[in-house]
A and B are shown apart, each in its own frame.
Chain A
Amino acid sequence: MARRKGLVINDRQLDRCDDLLRKLKEVSGSSFLALISASGQPITTASDEYHPETLSLASLAASSFAATRQLAKILDENEFTLLFHEGKALNLHVSQVTDQVLLIVTFGRQTQVGKVRLYTQRAMEVLRQVFEGPDDEEGPAMDSGFEADAGLAIDDLFKDL
């Protein structure tokens, strides 16, 4: 069961992730990559032309992945760490980076699955270090006026409703 622990991402982590996703995209020949949180929120993406709707994508990929993991548990199998769908024009590959982070890769039929797997596997090792490495950097703090301003924004969003 996932622990209740916030996921906070700083500049350095995001830079490294973006860098890595770009490289992975190039070498693996994939069309779209996204890092998402295990609870279904997008962290960052890499893409040229293909732009699926990221919020729905993240929510659905995280929930199918979570369901797949529970399926594995029920079947006494610990190693369903990957979700793979093969389509007519597109393949989808979702794998687990850490407890809290998942990697989504989509690629076309002309790209070899084996190649994507191999490079994804390598990239995951590096990504894991980005999220699990010693947290030497003091995390940035939320702006002190955030709560008050957010309250006003909420009133505004729901006014007249």
Chain B
Amino acid sequence: MPLINFAAREINYKIVYYGCGLCGKTTNIQYIHRTINPEARGKLVSIATEEERTLYFDFLPLTLGTVKGMQTRFHLYTVPGQSYYNASRKLVLQGVDGVIFVADSQITRLDENVESYLNLWDNLLAQGDDLAKLGFVIQMNKRDLTDVFSVEDLNELLNHTNSPVVEASAITGKGVFDTLKSVCKQVISKTG
């Protein structure tokens, strides 16, 4: 559930980019930071290793502006993808309103995608979330590459909830905002 501060007329939603290491989570958030109207975004904070691998999270706050008198914000987070960082992923997931699962479409990344997808649902269930109230989108990323699964195959493997799917190439920005838009609309309608 979002933080609703009726007194200060503010509402904040938390959106988390999830997925295996190197699937493109950080690339999504960097593209958003680069292209969106600078007035609508805050600072991009990244806690990363020297090799620019996400160690804890990236954080980017977006302001939607005032809606019905409420200052409305989306706080975007990414998680570290490698399996051994699960303790950190659980922390980032706390209080989440919407999840974007970024799938790496490359055939060679099948095991990592499936592991990450199962890990996501394990963590959400352990957290005791009401999953019906969670916004959820699957982004099939790296569609620009050649050795990739078809969307149908990936959908069968990674979408047991029948959630909206967006094809993307985060490196060029294709699909990045469609993904974000879909999850933002869902969290507003599901938690409102």
Starting from the known contacts A2-B94, A63-B92, A70-B91, 4 additional A-B residue pairs (CB-CB under 8 Å) come to A9-B8, A10-B6, A41-B75, A161-B35
Nearest A residue (CB) for B32: A161
A13 close to B7 (CB less than 8 A): yes
* CA gap between A148 and B38 in the complex, in Å: 25
Contacts of B3 in A (CB 8 A): 6-7, 9, 37, 39, 41, 43
B70 part of interface (Cβ distance < 8 Å): yes
- Complex Cα distance, B3 from A131, in Å, reads 13
Interface size on A, as a range, is: 35 or more
- Contact indicator A37/B95 (Cβ below 8 Å): yes
Interface size on B, residues (CB 8 A): 55
Q: Which of chain A's residues have a CB closer than 8 A to the CB of B69?
A: 143
Chain B hits for A8, CB < 8 A: 4-6
Chain A hits for B189, CB < 8 A: 147
How many Å lie between the Cα of A55 and that of B61 in the bound state? 7
- Report the number of A-B residue pairs with Cβ-Cβ less than 8 Å: 149
Q: Which residue in A4, A12, A146 is a CB contact (below 8 Å) of B67?
A: A146
Contact with A along B153-174 (1 / 0, CB 8 A): 0000000000000000000010
> B94 contacts which of A10, A39, A145, A150 (Cβ < 8 Å)?
A39
User: In the bound complex, how far is the Cα of B10 from the Cα of A7, in angstroms?
Assistant: 12
Question: In the complex the two chains form, what is the Cα distance from A154 to B74 in whole Å?
Answer: 11
Q: Which partner residue on chain A sits nearest B123 by CB separation?
A: A1
Using Cβ atoms and an 8 Å threshold, which residues of chain A touch B95? 2, 4, 37-40
Contact B130 A4 (CB under 8 A): yes
A-chain residues with CB within 8 Å of residue B23 when the two chains form the complex: none
Closest 9 A-B residue pairs measured CB to CB?
A6-B1, A39-B95, A14-B7, A143-B68, A41-B12, A4-B129, A66-B91, A11-B7, A161-B177
Q: Is the CB of B181 within 8 A of A6?
A: no
* B interface footprint on A1-44 (CB within 8 Å = 1, 0 otherwise): 11111111111111100000000000000000000011111011
A38-B94, A157-B36 known; A146-B7 Cβ under 8 A: no
Scan residues 73-124 of chain A and give those whose CB is less than 8 A from a CB of chain B. Answer: none
CB-CB under 8 A from B129, the residues of chain A are 4
Of B129, B130, B192, chain A has the most CB atoms within 10 Å of the CB of B192
Contacts of A14 on B, CB cut-off 8 Å? 5, 7-8
- Give 1 or 0 for each of B59-75: 1 = CB within 8 Å of chain A CB: 10110110111101001
Q: Which of these, B64, B91, B180, B181, contacts A63 with CB under 8 Å?
A: B91
A72 on interface, CB distance cutoff 8 Å: no
